[in-house]
Structure 1
Amino acid sequence: MKKYIYILIGGLILTATSCKKFLDLKPQDSYTENTFYVDEKGLQGGLISCYDALQTDSLYGNNLLTLGEIRGDNVTDNDPGSGAGVRNQIEVFAETSANNILSGSWQGHYKAIYRSNIILDRAPAIVMNETTKNQVIAQAKFIRALSYFNLTRLWGNVPLVTKVQKTEEARENSRSTPAQIYQQIISDLTDAATKLPVSWSDAQRGRATSYAASALLGKVYLYQKNYTMAASTLQPVVTAIYAGSTLATVPQTTTFPNALKTSKDVIFAVQYLSGGVKEFVNQDNRYRNNNNTNIINLPQSLFEAGDNRKALLAVTGTGGRPGKFNTPQVNNETSSDFPVLRCAEVLLMYAEALNEVAYGNPDAFTALNAVRTNAGITAKTPVMLTSQNAFRTALYLERRLELALEADRWFDIVRTNQMAAIFPGIPAFRSLYPVPQVEIDNVNKKDGWQNNGY
């Protein structure tokens, strides 16, 4: 929050003899929750802070890249001594509950949840346009749902906090199961999808939309293996994609991430802005391959001839970044947004859900091939993919190539039961991360707080 300093120039006294009122100057850096969230301006400012929480290095600015990609098989950390080795611990499955990447990510997600809970707590009492108020509430619910989705994917059982807590209350928290967490996520996203617009004006670009809420909800159902609900939830978004307008048409004439900030392929992204305004992301946090710190080791042989996604994973120049994040940098700052939900993923999720319901659905092939056509490669047919498992295998590969470096690879490995095959010898308990010890130290009842194996 900006601080305003008021200087009273000596001898200047403001009086009003007729009404005997004096100018009451109060420093604006003394705001509290009770004095800030009192009108629409305060509520909107608080909502921006929710989006801001997603930007931090604890989340999409850096750590989720480590937890979602370096942990997987697309990227290798080639600097084991960096940061006292905490990132390399995650690379080699040796992290402990003292790892500060884990504690930072845990706290970062709960910061986003805390800020969202403030909005949800204060919004009902604020006098403002009801449609606008509902949209503010829906955005806070979307951000809370996204945060909980990441938390339960990372740690499994986590505390479910849906209201603003005092310290004493927080110390009594216990962990909820993924089923309980998902129930809250589904409730938040279902409500958000009905209240958010399908698009925002250019001045409001970057806010969550109804398509974003539906896409994330479909993804949640996919993780729960509720394929029927996943397909039905995603179907309206897929229809909108095929129709174009506010979302990308297929095939597109350009490939992600050209013009990332304006690409219709991006349904929701965490946005950044360079130029000394404190809204940037460090260029090193976008897989900048300076001195081979991060090695992109996704086998090039996996790409078919003519696949235009292959070039996006190439590092451009000395100390450059892969094409997916190769935006100009100034003073080590870059404006590279982080894509969280894209049209291409919606199509792949839809195809996966339909195939899991029953093999041979032509709409599953249509959705899969829309992504492949956009990549410049030939369509798959039932003659090529003759069974549900064959389609499933092709779909998993397509996700790996299409979503590479977007912090989903590790979670895909876990949810599709590929961990034992890809990382033989790694114990199954490593599919979840250890709960940070600092969080366990802060609660009164510590039993049951640590994940098995740690």
Structure 2
Amino acid sequence: MMKKKYVYKWLTLSFLSFTLILFAACSENVLDLVPVTQRTLTNFYNNEAQIDAGVNGAYGLLQRQGQYGSGLIVLGEIPSDNTYSEVPANDGGNYGQLDLFSSIALNTVLDSAWTHAYRGIQQCNVILNRIPAVEMDETVKNHRRGEILFIRALSYFNLVRVFGDVPLVVHETTDVNAYFGQGRTPRAEVYRQILSDLAESVALLPQAPDRPGRVALGAALTLQGKVYLTLKRYDEAIAALNQVLPLGYVLLPDPEAVFDPANKNNQEMVFSVQFASGVNGNTEGSSAFQLFSPSGSVGGAKGHNLPTREMYQLYSQQDRRRQAYVAVRNNGVVFSRKFRQTSIDPVDGGSHVAVLRYPDVLLMLAECYNEAPNRNPTRAMEYLDMVRTRAGLTSPTTTVGQAALRDAISLERRLEFVGEGHRWFDLIRTDQAVEVMNAYFERTPGYQTIRINENHLVQPIPQSQINADPATIQNIGYN
């Protein structure tokens, strides 16, 4: 079975276009270079309503194709042993390159991931620069700042995991020349900024969102825990994640309900990017359902990010997720059920995209307790078993060794989060990516000539960025 221009060029465009664009809705087209107002940015964002429109715009940018429209999902999944691109040549071979580890600097998925992330970061920087001078309720102001700090931290976290060192821009860009020649910021410094943003966000956010789909305290703490875990700072991760436990999130009793479009923003979703069918001229929907459906199953289906047959066979017959999260067509092709058709137009999908879920909190805690200097395997198994029990699986009766428990947690993450954009980053974080993938290639027809090394743990910097600023150095191993 087969497995599977821009910071600086964009800053120039954004500086010109931001004087024309009012971020008034969370639309996929929120940053199209089409003027919808003649108000200039200099005279905008000077009252609470305008700030709220700007915050909506920052959320809207998370919907873009390079972010949670599809890009971040496939970048965290297709390079792994979880999913593959059914027809690698589809969409100009850009998804197939991720699957076959043949990515080039002209890859459009990577280009969009870079561009859309920095557009979102610029929007966050604008709001953070303008909001202190705006007269508005201080509690609301703090909540909005906390939301924007979270979005900026999330955007940089995604960038640094995909590309490694990236330019760090934390101020509103009014003169693009100020950043020309900066080059890439070491990832350690980027991570310091991410943690700084999240610490401030945690101090500002409410325990519950003030409207559906917005960021609240649990999201900031969960992301903070994930960043600490990525940096192998286990005790700090535990401290952050333990604060999420009393906030009211739960594992839904039935896995089938987790991704039911009729059950959006349920108590298991810590943070999700919002999509809706049939809204604003079908501009609020997601194309993920079409992109991630097997070829021939729906109109225009692309067959990207399909679970591998090997992945599917990891589910036991008793595992309730076997049919809730994945299914098999008559021709034997496995597909994800985490994105559902909610409209006659398969491009106008209404399934939200899960960014952080409560099982992630529990499994990260399990991993931390297993890996921390003062290891606590009992606690680790407790959190692992919570996820397994919801899936209908029995728990072991005795404590297992560290290596065996590590493997069990890794397996559970695969079963729980398949297709959501976690597996590749999990492999990198646990220093397993090269070994696991090379072993996978050896046993998988169609991939047996592929071998990867440490250079493949980051993707190539988009060529458009290098063309725009020659100070940007390409990652090793890419032309």
Q: TM-score normalised by the shorter chain: which range applies?
A: 0.7 to 0.9
Question: Which moves more between the two structures, 43-52 or 312-321?
Answer: 312-321
Structure 1 residues 253 and 276: alpha-carbon distance in aligned structure 2, compared to 1, 3 A threshold? closer
Residue equivalent to 1:368: 384
Residue equivalent to 2:137: 129
Find out whether 1:80 has 2:88 as its counterpart.
Answer: yes
Residue equivalent to 2:104: 96
Q: How much has 1:28 moved relative to structure 2?
A: 7.2
Q: Is contact 1:47–1:136 with CA below 8 Å preserved after alignment?
A: yes
Distance (Å, rounded) in 2 between the aligned partners of 1:214 and 1:220: 10
Structure 2: which amino acid aligns with 1:303?
Y
Find out whether 1:409 has 2:409 as its counterpart.
Answer: no
Structure 1 residues 267 and 443: alpha-carbon distance in aligned structure 2, compared to 1, 3 A threshold? same
Residue equivalent to 2:448: none
Residue equivalent to 1:428: 454
Residue equivalent to 1:452: 476
Runs of 4+ with >3 A deviation: 249-255, 283-286, 315-321, 358-361
Distance (Å, rounded) in 2 between the aligned partners of 1:254 and 1:103: 35
Distance (Å, rounded) in 2 between the aligned partners of 1:236 and 1:261: 24
Residue equivalent to 1:31: 39
Structure 2: which amino acid aligns with 1:122?
R
Residue equivalent to 2:26: none
Distance (Å, rounded) in 2 between the aligned partners of 1:176 and 1:199: 34
Structure 1: which amino acid aligns with 2:393?
I
Find out whether 1:289 has 2:294 as its counterpart.
Answer: yes
Q: C-alpha deviations, 1:388-438, integer Å up to 9, x for none?
A: 111111001101111111111111111112222222221220110011111
3-state DSSP of counterpart to 2:338: helix
Residue equivalent to 1:21: none
Same amino acid, percent of matched pairs: 34
Q: How much has 1:158 moved relative to structure 2?
A: 0.4
Q: Is contact 1:212–1:341 with CA below 8 Å preserved after alignment?
A: yes
Residue equivalent to 2:410: 396
Structure 2: which amino acid aligns with 1:173?
Q
1:353 to 348, 368, 374: 368
Find out whether 1:231 has 2:238 as its counterpart.
Answer: yes
Structure 2: which amino acid aligns with 1:398?
E
Query: Which sections of structure 2, spanning at least 5 residues, go unmatched?
Result: 1-20, 24-34, 298-302, 439-450
Question: Which moves more between the two structures, 346-355 or 297-306?
Answer: 297-306
Residue equivalent to 2:161: 153
Q: How much has 1:336 moved relative to structure 2?
A: 0.8
Structure 1 residues 249 and 155: alpha-carbon distance in aligned structure 2, compared to 1, 3 A threshold? closer
Instruction: Report matched runs for 1:260-271 at 5 Å.
Output: 260-271=263-274
Residue equivalent to 2:185: 176
Q: How much has 1:360 moved relative to structure 2?
A: 4.0
Q: Is contact 1:360–1:388 with CA below 8 Å preserved after alignment?
A: no
3-state DSSP of counterpart to 2:69: coil
3-state DSSP of counterpart to 1:115: helix
Distance (Å, rounded) in 1 between the aligned partners of 2:361 and 2:22: 39
3-state DSSP of counterpart to 2:81: coil
3-state DSSP of counterpart to 1:280: coil
Residue equivalent to 1:247: 249
Q: Is contact 1:290–1:320 with CA below 8 Å preserved after alignment?
A: no
Q: Is contact 1:155–1:434 with CA below 8 Å preserved after alignment?
A: yes
Q: Which has the larger radius of gyration?
A: 1
Distance (Å, rounded) in 1 between the aligned partners of 2:166 and 2:369: 31
Distance (Å, rounded) in 2 between the aligned partners of 1:219 and 1:327: 31
Query: Which sections of structure 1, spanning at least 5 residues, go unmatched?
Result: 4-26, 241-245
Q: C-alpha deviations, 1:80-124, integer Å up to 9, x for none?
A: 222221211111001111112111110111111000000000000
**Highest RCO, 1 vs 2 (Cα 8 Å, sep ≥ 6):** 2
Instruction: Report matched runs for 1:208-219 at 5 Å.
Output: 208-219=215-226
Q: Is contact 1:67–1:407 with CA below 8 Å preserved after alignment?
A: yes
